[in-house]
């Protein structure tokens, strides 16, 4: 159940019959706290509220979802993954990244360009996969 009860004039996502897609609407009238009539901001048509499919609350980590996501969504996911991975780490203990360095899985490193990163995987002979805030990168290391 949504915690926020919309009011008249509030923006909601609704399927628009004229635009034939999910567009931004403003609530025109409500019944028992639920939008009934909405106005499309794209075509200005007023019609019944057809709720856009609301994604289920935070997806379980165990459910892999193979969906075409935009680059923005991917980088957002990376940032979230990064934050989650970093949550349990002492950020002050990051090792300065050098191509000549050796790194272990789950080690924190500080990259001069990409910033703080977490070693996700060591790939022999001389590469590491590192999770940065903006995504996963492959870096050189001494192996
Ligand atoms: Zn419309």
Cβ proximity of 7 and 33 under 8 Å = no
CA of 24 relative to ligand 1 center, distance in Å: 8
CA of 46 relative to ligand 1 center, distance in Å: 8
Is 115 within the bounds of a domain? yes
Among 46-50, 64-68, 104-108, the least confident range? 64-68
Does residue 143 carry a pLDDT above 80? Answer: no
Is 91 within the bounds of a domain? yes
The band of 49, judged by pLDDT with boundaries at 50, 70 and 90, is very high
Q: Which is nearest to 8 in space by CA: 32, 26, 24, 21? A: 26
Are β-strands 115-123 and 21-31 bridged in parallel, bridged antiparallel, or unpaired? unpaired
CA of 108 relative to ligand 1 center, distance in Å: 49
Domains in the chain, number: 2
CA of 76 relative to ligand 1 center, distance in Å: 28
Is 70 within the bounds of a domain? no
Query: What is the average pLDDT score of the chain?
Result: 86
Is 60 within the bounds of a domain? no
The band of 67, judged by pLDDT with boundaries at 50, 70 and 90, is low
CA of 45 relative to ligand 1 center, distance in Å: 6
Q: What is the pTM of this model?
A: 0.48
The reported pLDDT for the residue numbered 17 is 87
The reported pLDDT for the residue numbered 80 is 86
């Amino acid at each position: 159940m949504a915690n926020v009860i919309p009011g008249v004039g509030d923006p909601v996502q609704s399927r628009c019959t004229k635009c034939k897609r999910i567009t931004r609407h403003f609530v025109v009238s409500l019944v028992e706290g639920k939008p009934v009539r909405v106005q499309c901001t794209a075509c200005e048509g007023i019609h019944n509220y057809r709720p856009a499919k609301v994604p289920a609350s935070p997806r379980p980590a165990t459910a892999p979802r193979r969906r075409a996501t935009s680059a923005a969504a991917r980088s957002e996911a990376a940032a979230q993954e990064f934050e989650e991975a970093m949550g349990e780490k002492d950020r002050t203990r990051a090792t300065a990244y050098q191509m000549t360095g050796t790194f272990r899985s789950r080690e924190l490193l500080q990259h001069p360009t990409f910033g703080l990163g977490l070693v996700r995987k060591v790939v022999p002979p001389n590469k590491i996969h590192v999770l940065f805030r903006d995504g996963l990168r492959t870096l050189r290391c001494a192996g």
